[in-house]
A and B are shown apart, each in its own frame.
Chain A
Amino acid sequence: MSTTERIWEVFRQEDEGDPMVHAGNVNAPDEELAMHYAREFYGRRGESHRLWIVPRDAVTELDDPDLLKPPFDRSHKKPGGYIIKHKLEAAKQRAAGEAGE
């Protein structure tokens, strides 16, 4: 790749308040033209509320599964790790039974 041309990653925001989402990338010799081209590819139809343009070499990638998907139980860290359905049923039934005595 030429030293005078770079790849720029483009992130877009669909509507006010939405997260910035990666949309694609453009080739451009500098930031100004990268911005114009990002607008063309990801905004010419008026489809984006906001764009971020980032040189590809500014992006640091992490995809190591040892860090992102480590093997030990982490269910206590997520709502889905607390299964209360049966316990709740049992508690309700007991309480209803007590109330009925």
Chain B
Amino acid sequence: MTELDATTREALAELLLAVADDEFVIGFWDSEWTGIAPMLEEDVATSSIAQDEIGHARALYELLAEVTDDDADRIAYGRDPEAYRHAALLNHRRGDWAFSVARRYLYETADAVRLEALARSSHERLAQLTGKMRREETYHLLHAEAWLRRLADGPADVRERLADAIRRLWADAQQLFAPLDGEGVLVTAGILPQPMATLHAAWTARVRAAVEPIAGKLPDAAPSADGRTTRTDDFRWLHGEFTMVAGGVEAATW
């Protein structure tokens, strides 16, 4: 890996943290369905997808740990809630099945756009890692689409649950493309092949065509500067859960 200057390294760290935290937090929320999903077969499928996300998060934290000379578990578990950089979309508890399906769909379509760009990164390790992730995400997108369609094609009340969830999540979904600190440096270096705003436009165009027939016309919404820094009580609860064991005993290995 060619040596990066301090500014580029910092900007890369922001990017990796954003993607890793997204995968980490959505993996956590969806892993909560393990054991209680609507059907036994679906339970296993949802759990696999959640586990994949945690696996991706782990790989990203490990890469980040190399860049910043840190430790993956410490990055994952050792920050205060305010120091996490996941998008606002992931601030919500998993909700009911329609909510999870809607969020999963919005997330997977955005992740596909993001990974497609990062797989062309000039940063070789990042390109390889995101290339691998894209292969696993193929299944995630197929599965998310399968459920979106099934709920959308269901009876009126089912369709309405889904529509309502999409409407509630729409503004926060934009934050997956919230501008990153130091993004310009990454774009210049080719580490981030396109700015977040460009990726956002590509995603919006694709996803509106799929969700507006279900949820009706959705408002214009742009990512905001604080799209990755607002925190909610839901997330604070989650943070409390995942830091509970490690926090309880001093300096232990688990």
Contact = CB atoms under 8 A, between A and B. Distances in A.
A33 interface: yes
B39 A36 contact: no
Interface stretch (A37-45, A67-75, A79-87, A92-100): A37-45
A37 B37 CA distance: 14
Question: What does DSSP make chain A's interface, helix, strand, loop or mixed?
Answer: helix
B143 interface: yes
Contact of B139 (A27, A37, A39, A41): A39
A37 B38 CA distance: 14
Interface residues of A, number: 11
Contact of B143 (A27, A36, A44): A36
Contacts of A32: 146
Nearest to A27: B41
B194 interface: no
Interface in B141-157: 142-143, 146
A11 B42 CA distance: 19
B41 A28 contact: yes
A54 interface: no
B45 interface: yes
Contacts of B48: 40, 44
Question: What does DSSP make chain B's interface, helix, strand, loop or mixed?
Answer: helix
Contacts of B244: none
A20 interface: no
Among A32, A40, A44, residue most surrounded by chain B Cβ atoms (within 10 Å): A40
A37 B146 contact: no
B139 A26 contact: no
Contacts of A33: 41-42, 146
A26 B44 CA distance: 12
27 contacts: A26-B41, A27-B39, A27-B40, A27-B41, A28-B41, A32-B146, A33-B41, A33-B42, A33-B146, A36-B45, A36-B139, A36-B142, A36-B143, A36-B146, A37-B41, A37-B42, A37-B44, A37-B45, A39-B139, A40-B41, A40-B44, A40-B45, A40-B48, A41-B41, A41-B44, A44-B44, A44-B48
Interface of A: 26-28, 32-33, 36-37, 39-41, 44
Interface of B: 39-42, 44-45, 48, 139, 142-143, 146
- Which 5 A-B pairs rank lowest in CB-CB distance, beginning with the nearest? A37-B41, A40-B44, A40-B45, A44-B48, A26-B41
